[in-house]
Chain A
Amino acid sequence: MEKIAILIETRQGEIKPSLYGVITAAQDAEHELLALAFGADTARFADQLKPYGIHHLVTITAPSARSFSNPDNRARAIIRAMDHFDIRTLFALTSLAGKDLLPRIAARLDAPLVMDCLAVNLVDSTVEKPQFSEKTIATIRVTGHHRIFGIRPNMIEPKTMPVETETVVFNYQGTADDRLEVVETRQGKSGAIDLSEAEIIISGGRGMKNGENFQILQECAQVMGAAVGASRVAVDNGWVPHSMQVGQTGTTVCPKLYIACGISGSIQHFAGMKTAGTIVCINTDPDAAMMQQCDYGIAGDLFKIIPALTRQLKAHR
């Protein structure tokens, strides 16, 4: 049986919810599924992975826990594990971490890699992925001894396929390349959901008028368990940091629900949120481009509509 591995990504010590869709992308009765996770304490994930068809959970350990903060060393450890377990196909999330780790692995193995896959066909080795600012979907065929796929978060609905999960420890003994040294790691806001993986996003654009007004979106986001995004205008005006920018030159997102407030719907903004499940547009201009390409539109003042939405959602709880 061919072995396929899924790289486990965690947030605050727990498996990221968007990871289960990645496992589903790799599920196939013909294959043996392995999950690769860093650190001895990940052995407890076995119970969570069992329902999704993971046969073996490989916990990758190293003499010093710190050695995995080095991205290059992480890549080397994965490659060593792939070699040891005879893994030729690797799946992971196209998260910020994935965008660093997967290409490092692919480059060293000289393996084909496609990021942001929407669907994977393992039999004929093809994937679907957006190209040209999300304006087209390309079918890409990969050829090579290995193959590596980065899956777009939230794109694939998780499906269960229960099996027994066995835990194996893989001790990585390699040393880091001293030409690349991690001086310091500053974690992001704890508990904050990264835009690229959020299931619900509420975004503001020029219509927000200033940075303070984003508080209205923050309040609404809190009630919905959403992340807050922004258009480039809001970022360029210094209202919010660039990490909140959705679009061509910001983050590509794929939430179940995207609520655009005071955003006109430029091509470059769409490039970052086109694959959202449902789009809601709140805009004073009924002719805004966003209105033409949304699921639900309310033509009105966001400063009245968003507080009402927050209030009603609170009342529903």
Chain B
Amino acid sequence: MFDAALFYLRPHVIITDPMNIYVCVKHVPDSAATIRIVEPNQIDENITFLLNPYDENAVEAAVQLKADSDDTDVIAVTVGKPAAIDTLKSALAMGADRGIHVVTGYWPDSIVTARALQAAIIKDGLPDLILTGKAAIDSDGYQTQFRLAAALDIPVATHVGSIARNDNSVTVTCGLEAGGEQVIRMRMPCVIGTAKTLNTPRYPTLPDIIKARKKEIREVSIDHLAIEPPDSRMEIIALKSAVQKRRKQMIAGSIEESVTELIRRLKGEARIPLS
């Protein structure tokens, strides 16, 4: 079992040990792909899958933090079907040092995913920082980073637009509504969910991609992680296409006429309270 006490000792040894940054990356359908439903609750996975766009920012942040300190290991971790190895390769091409693939035969919910990430990470080493995206664009869950932090009993912040590293803490800014911000300091180890504004993810060059081929990817079956089965579950029982019936009416005429007509229809048939 995981020994939480080890984490509190961490600040004292941080100077001598390499810093371990774990980045959680999810293999998700390309946002441009056409989603076809093949079973009541399955999609046709014969489409392009990519590294989750928000996780690109997490990988970029890790690689930038590595550039700032001599002795840092960036480890990309994914939980997913065998095909998810491609997403690890993308992370390695962006500059992660090695990868861990928790191999599953299905796409687990975020409760199981977080347990698998936790188990895989503590089996591998002691994390100083764990980076995730703010959400996966397939499930739009917004929660795995929090569950992972709770499982490890370490602090977490999400929607992070800047990261500054101090000796044994990080200072991050989290987006609030209407452009507001909250500055949060967290003791390391901690979990950070990255926002799009954090950085611009690099495009790997061909040499980067070739170099990444030599990097190590460790595979472990989820069954070998001895995860305690949770009492709670979130289960997709049905999927349907989201088709919105739209009126598709073109409004023609002069500028003034068409605007008058638009306002009339918005107030009338669409019942919009235009003040």
- List chain A positions with a Cβ less than 8 A from chain B: 11, 69, 71-72, 95-97, 99-100, 102-104, 106-108, 110-116, 126, 129-146, 150, 177-189, 192-194, 196-197, 200, 223-225, 241-243, 245, 248-250, 252, 256-257, 267-268, 271, 274-275, 277-280, 286, 291-300, 304-305, 308-309, 312-313, 316-317
Q: Tell me whether B143 and A103 are in contact (CB under 8 A).
A: yes
- Nearest residue (CB) in A for B109 is A112
Q: How far is the CB of B6 from chain A (nearest CB, A)?
A: 15
With A133-B31, A225-B275, A277-B270 as contacts: A188 and B180 at CB distance below 8 Å: yes
Interface residues of B in 143-188 (CB under 8 A from A): 143, 145-147, 149-150, 154-159, 171, 174-187
Cβ-defined contact, A112 with B180, below 8 A: no
Pick 29 A–B contacts, CB within 8 A, sort by A.
A95-B177, A96-B177, A103-B158, A106-B143, A110-B147, A111-B232, A136-B43, A136-B242, A137-B239, A137-B242, A139-B239, A142-B235, A144-B231, A179-B155, A180-B155, A180-B186, A181-B185, A184-B182, A188-B180, A189-B178, A225-B275, A241-B179, A243-B178, A249-B53, A294-B248, A296-B249, A298-B259, A300-B258, A308-B259
Tell me which of B53, B158, B262 has the highest count of chain A C-beta atoms within 10 A of its own C-beta.
Answer: B262
B161 to chain A: closest residue by CB: A242
CB distance from B183 to the nearest CB of A (A): 4
* CB-contact partner of B183 in A95, A182, A189, A305, under 8 A: A182
Please choose the segment from B66-74, B81-89, B134-142, B204-212 that sits at the chain A interface, where 4 or more of its residues have CB less than 8 A away: B134-142
Interface residues of B (CB under 8 A from A): 29, 31-32, 34-35, 37, 41, 43, 53-54, 111, 114, 134, 137-143, 145-147, 149-150, 154-159, 171, 174-187, 190, 196-197, 230-242, 244, 246-252, 255-256, 258-260, 262-263, 265-266, 270, 272-275
B176 & A188 in contact (Cβ 8 Å cutoff) = yes
How many pairs of A and B residues are in contact by the CB < 8 Å rule? 276
Q: In the complex the two chains form, is A100's CB within 8 Å of B158's CB?
A: yes
Given pairs A143-B235, A200-B272, 18 additional interface contacts (CB within 8 A): A11-B177, A96-B175, A103-B143, A107-B143, A107-B150, A131-B138, A135-B35, A142-B233, A144-B231, A145-B231, A146-B232, A182-B183, A185-B181, A248-B31, A291-B250, A293-B246, A296-B247, A297-B251
Residues of A within 8 A of B114 (CB): 107
Greatest chain B CB density within 10 A among A69, A114, A274, A291 is at: A114
Bound Cα distance from A53 to B238, whole angstroms: 31
Whether the pair A305, B231 counts as a contact (CB closer than 8 A) is no
Contacts of B158 in A (CB 8 A): 99-100, 103
Cα A290 to Cα B183 in complex, Å, equals: 38
Assess A267 versus B247: contact at CB under 8 Å? Given A103-B146, A138-B238.
no
Q: Contacts of B180 on A, CB cut-off 8 Å?
A: 185-189
- Residue from the list B184, B250, B259 in contact with A297, Cβ < 8 A: B250
